[in-house]
Structure 1
Amino acid sequence: MADTLKIHPADNVIVALRDFRAGESAAGGNGSIQLLEDIPIKHKFAERDFQEGETIIMYGVTVAKTLRVVPKGTRISTENVVHASSDYGVGERDLRWDAPDVSAFRDRTFLGYHREDGSVGTRNYWLVIPLVFCENRNISVIEAAMVEKLGYVTEREFSVDVDTLIRQYREGSSAEDILRTDVLRSGEEIQRNRVFPRVDGIKFLTHQGGCGGIRQDSEALCRLLAGYVNNANVAGATVLSLGCQNAQISFLREAIDRIAPDSKKPLYILEQQQSRSERDFIAEAVKVTFTGLMQANAIERKPAPISKLTLGLECGGSDGFSGITANPALGYASDLLVALGGKTILSEFPELNGVEQELVNRCTTDELAEKFVHLMRTYSKRAEEVGSAFSMNPSPGNIKDGLITDAIKSAGAAKKGGTSPVTDVLDYTEQATRPGLNLLCTPGNDVESTTGLAGSGANLIVFTTGLGTPTGNPVAPTVKMSSNNALAERMGDIIDINAGTVVSGEDTIESKGKELLELLISIASGERRTRSEQLGQDDFIPWKRGVSL
């Protein structure tokens, strides 16, 4: 196993694949390099001597400028470099693509839920959603009334014995005694006994939008909720409206008609200010939801081609290995799916900063290239106007684990999109309708981005992580892929597949990408549930434009 990596022939920094001590020699460039300081695993060191103001190249693109002299064999850090990236624009494009061999997957199918519009779901959910935050409490009351009675309870791998702590407190135990007490117990095996066995769950969404703020946020919320109702994994929905809010029922209906004018999905919309009482309002919502579940339960899984999968490509809690292992492996799986006629969606526009030109060059038309450039420049300008440029995107955890500039983070993050041509560019809430790789404008914020992916049609999501992020999505099964072995061992309860084996030598990018696609087919068919599904991790945060990175 190698202990260093030069990612691209044009790079002038080397990645440490293990911890190095000052004085050790490390492979780099055309020979060995004497290291002048400790180099932590995942961090980079200089391949040559740099003067102040020189360009740092990684992944073959500009990722930083030096702030001072950086001697060969020293660590690249926030103290000696600053974010830098190349300009971009619409010009000559290169659409040549060496598609991967998909013969092993050509005739494969998955068992999915076929909708009347021709889409196929990997899950069969019923939604209960509010148009405004004022209805969040009613959503919670309905959830408490229905979930356990209908057999939709999340499995518990463990429980915490609070009764023991209460007993100790009443008996006069000290804080020190309580802290030493073992309160973990083996989880209960919950018998589902679902009333509606073909309905995978009722998803109760809550949010803080729909009124106040700016009107555009409420309109965007209605478009997002319309996308969730239209998602192939959703059989139908119950919508609660207060009545006076900015997010009017008419806006939701218009948004649904725009993306699915012939939709025949059952949709029940109730307005509280037109009801006789809150009790009657909640009772009516429970009844219509129950009848909707009866309709959803009539749908059975049937074989569908892999081309019916729409895969969201996401990363979060990234580390210095994310762009070397998990993201490229996901990118290879994306290329496989595209070659099979499926759709993939790459989001997180702040994490494409520095690799814009590569993506522009992959757009299949001038119009798409121009739309991408416009969205990127508009988003960047708005971020700067509120005092937070793209260069401020890396989190403290990113920086600690080697992603010290946004361009370094972005160059690795973009690997999730593989190498296929870009067939469509989508603004937030626009629907993915064209086979191939789609670019979707969302923040880099994990949950806002995954929320947007499902809202644009993803019926599966792969979420790569190097630090560990316990997140999921209410309607799109979210597969967690670790970038390193240590995370897979430490947080195995949230990780579905480990790409750290690429660094340790057991796998290649290609073999791990194929393994991932096999896992996705199994999950799409309902044969396996993701860790986030098992944990009931249903995170949903609509994006308020221009605020988040």
Structure 2
Amino acid sequence: MDKRSHAAEVIRLSNRDNVVIALRDLDAGSDIEEVGVPLVNSVPRGHKIAVRQISKGESVYRYGQIIGEAKADIAPGEHVHVQNLGMGAHQQDYRYGADCVALPKIAETRSFQGYHRADGKVGTRNYVGILTTVNCSGSVARFIAEAAEKAGLFDGFPNVDGVVPIVHSTGCGMSGSNEGYQALFRTLSGYAQHPNFGGILLVGLGCEVMQIADLVGGRQIRADGAMRYMTIQNEGGTRRTIERGLRELEGILELANQTTRAPAPISEITVGMQCGGSDGYSGITANPALGHASDLLVRHGGTTILSETSEIYGAEHLLTSRAESREIGEKLIDQIKWWEDYTARNKGEMDNNPSPGNKRGGLTTILEKSLGATAKGGTAPLAGVYQFAELIDRKGFVFMDSPGFDPCSVTGQVASGANIIVFTTGRGSVSGYKPTPCIKVATNSETYARLSEDMDLNCGDIVTDGVSISDKGEELLDLIIRVASGEETKSEELGFGGAEFVPWQIGAVM
């Protein structure tokens, strides 16, 4: 592992691999010791180079795992990418629980400064949310927030981080009972009781499929009672809804302002782990570093959530082998099978996931991308598998089903209870996810320098400066704790988070 040669120009990730990864742009004809022959082509950094003859139909290995099948004969020193590498048939041995080894607990008590809620959860922020049941009430929710800001309503509530309108493009024109409805129901319910909200104002139109009465259902969604709801039709239109909304908002703000930060064990931190704009470095630097931080948090009793089911495809066996029970492992495979059917009936395919940007960064197949993405999950046992936006009800490393589309996947993780998001990126990403702060981690030093105003941590120094993955993981955990205690991330400083609430729309729009 981590065999480097010729001034770290390439890296070989496993003795089994028949490719190495370029760590800088390499010219045709370059002599690379690990390759053994002059390079046939110019190879961009992050891309693969064959280190021996690979025959057409033969498996190509990276990380010691199959990432695809040669579409043509590949000579030593040749660039390996979309022109000569494809998916091919692949079978996985799921080995349920075979590699499940409990991580040793860390006795040291570490804490953060969080907001303790009446239901026992702890928030990392203290926002008030204006949550909408349907797209039709989205503008009015924004009008209420804008009117509150214009009136200086927040000035007397220093312990509140702000008001967040949560608007979206669905809530009607859908079945009232299918899996799409249930996913939206879980999402809205999860946001309504999220610990990063000190209170919620729920606004509907009145005639939509996603009825407020069904969401509330006669139950107390928030243990602190800091929730109010209304519909535009019952209030008598836009102006009256805004007027009542401001009155209700003031009462919610008074309740939310009573909560201040206090010490909490880091076992109350739940991290949603994401990667987007991935490149050839993702599985070498940032994702393994996040995996190490995940293991550390789990050892402290915390929770980490891996998602993006379409981006673990081909690497799911690495998770099932760590499942705490066969039932948990089979639940993950059931999700994989659902996705195979879902993409097929919508005339898609699982291998269409690597985006043009992923491919420019050196990733060729979904198998290769998935193996790097799964590294975010570290080595901890897989303690549970959850539906999209389903409330996480146990500690440890878990998986939540979601698309690979980052805003949608994060929306599900937040609804499930994530109070911190860590987002690794190779090509670069700009987004935020109110009410949950998002830490952006660059996989390479070039992206970190180019997008320094958006990136919170550089993992490129794992390659350029020889920083160990474990040291970088510990640095990342320290950053997570500081952010959980109130330190602003770059996306928060820039004001992101107003457009990234994206519930997963499953099924027909009618």
Measured against aligned partners, the alpha-carbon deviations of 1:256-304 in whole angstroms (never above 9, x if no partner) come to 95xx877334111101221234311211111101110100000011100
Q: Tell me the secondary structure at the aligned position of residue 32 of structure 2.
A: strand
Q: What is the RMSD computed on CA atoms of the aligned residues?
A: 1.9
* Correspondence for 1:409: 369
* Cα pair 1:211 1:218 within 8 Å, conserved: no
Shift of 1:92: 4.3
* Correspondence for 1:76: 80
* Correspondence for 2:479: 519
Q: Which moved more, 1:386-395 or 1:262-271?
A: 262-271
- Structure 1 runs (4+) deviating above 6 angstroms are none
Unpaired segments ≥5 residues, structure 2:
1-6
* Correspondence for 2:116: 114
* Correspondence for 1:12: 18
* Correspondence for 1:27: 33
**Cα distance change on mapping 1:121 and 1:413 into 2, 3 Å:** same
Question: How far apart, CA to CA, are the structure 2 residues paired with 1:86 and 1:78?
Answer: 18
**Cα distance change on mapping 1:200 and 1:66 into 2, 3 Å:** same
Aligned counterpart for 1:224 among listed residues 177, 180, 187: 187
2:489 aligned with 1:530, yes or no?
yes
**Cα distance change on mapping 1:546 and 1:318 into 2, 3 Å:** farther
Question: How far apart, CA to CA, are the structure 2 residues paired with 1:274 and 1:119?
Answer: 34
* Cα pair 2:61 2:67 within 8 Å, conserved: yes
* Cα pair 1:307 1:337 within 8 Å, conserved: yes
Shift of 1:201: 1.6
* Correspondence for 2:173: 212
Measured against aligned partners, the alpha-carbon deviations of 1:341-385 in whole angstroms (never above 9, x if no partner) come to 000000101110111111111110111111111011111211122
Measured against aligned partners, the alpha-carbon deviations of 1:412-461 in whole angstroms (never above 9, x if no partner) come to 01111111000010011211121111101011111111111101100000
2:333 aligned with 1:373, yes or no?
yes
Shift of 1:218: 3.6
* Cα pair 1:394 1:409 within 8 Å, conserved: yes
* Cα pair 2:131 2:165 within 8 Å, conserved: yes
* Cα pair 2:134 2:172 within 8 Å, conserved: yes
* Cα pair 1:85 1:353 within 8 Å, conserved: no
Q: Which moved more, 1:87-96 or 1:13-22?
A: 87-96
* Correspondence for 1:128: 130
Measured against aligned partners, the alpha-carbon deviations of 1:214-255 in whole angstroms (never above 9, x if no partner) come to 43334422210110112111112001111111001133125x
* Cα pair 2:96 2:323 within 8 Å, conserved: no
Shift of 1:546: 6.6
* Correspondence for 2:229: 269
Q: Which moved more, 1:456-465 or 1:10-19?
A: 10-19
* Cα pair 2:315 2:374 within 8 Å, conserved: yes
**Cα distance change on mapping 1:119 and 1:487 into 2, 3 Å:** same
Shift of 1:151: 7.7
Q: Tell me the secondary structure at the aligned position of residue 107 of structure 1.
A: coil
Measured against aligned partners, the alpha-carbon deviations of 1:1-49 in whole angstroms (never above 9, x if no partner) come to 5111111222111101011111112232xx7343111111100011111
Question: How far apart, CA to CA, are the structure 2 residues paired with 1:129 and 1:451?
Answer: 13
Question: How far apart, CA to CA, are the structure 2 residues paired with 1:517 and 1:97?
Answer: 22
Aligned counterpart for 2:445 among listed residues 465, 476, 485: 485
2:68 aligned with 1:64, yes or no?
yes
Question: How far apart, CA to CA, are the structure 2 residues paired with 1:195 and 1:32?
Answer: 70
Question: How far apart, CA to CA, are the structure 2 residues paired with 1:297 and 1:308?
Answer: 21
* Cα pair 1:89 1:373 within 8 Å, conserved: no
The letter for the 1-side match of 2:11 is L
Q: Which moved more, 1:314-323 or 1:379-388?
A: 379-388
The letter for the 2-side match of 1:50 is I
Q: Which moved more, 1:217-226 or 1:86-95?
A: 86-95
Question: How far apart, CA to CA, are the structure 2 residues paired with 1:148 and 1:87?
Answer: 60
The letter for the 2-side match of 1:93 is G
Matches within 5 A, 1:501-512: 501-512=461-472
Matches within 5 A, 1:165-314: 194-215=155-176, 216=178, 217-254=180-217, 263-314=223-274
Q: Which moved more, 1:87-96 or 1:446-455?
A: 87-96
**Cα distance change on mapping 1:290 and 1:419 into 2, 3 Å:** same
Unpaired segments ≥5 residues, structure 1:
153-193
The letter for the 1-side match of 2:160 is V
Question: How far apart, CA to CA, are the structure 2 residues paired with 1:408 and 1:144?
Answer: 46
* Correspondence for 1:141: 143
Question: How far apart, CA to CA, are the structure 2 residues paired with 1:333 and 1:61?
Answer: 23
* Correspondence for 2:391: 431
Question: How far apart, CA to CA, are the structure 2 residues paired with 1:385 and 1:92?
Answer: 29
* Correspondence for 1:51: 55
**Cα distance change on mapping 1:148 and 1:505 into 2, 3 Å:** farther
The letter for the 1-side match of 2:467 is D
Shift of 1:88: 3.5
2:322 aligned with 1:362, yes or no?
yes
Shift of 1:89: 5.9
**Cα distance change on mapping 1:73 and 1:265 into 2, 3 Å:** farther
* Correspondence for 2:281: 321
Question: How far apart, CA to CA, are the structure 2 residues paired with 1:36 and 1:488?
Answer: 30
* Correspondence for 2:3: none
Shift of 1:96: 4.2
Question: How far apart, CA to CA, are the structure 1 residues paired with 2:434 and 2:344?
Answer: 32
Question: How far apart, CA to CA, are the structure 1 residues paired with 2:75 and 2:38?
Answer: 11
Question: How far apart, CA to CA, are the structure 1 residues paired with 2:345 and 2:306?
Answer: 25
Identity across the alignment (%): 37
Shift of 1:148: 4.8
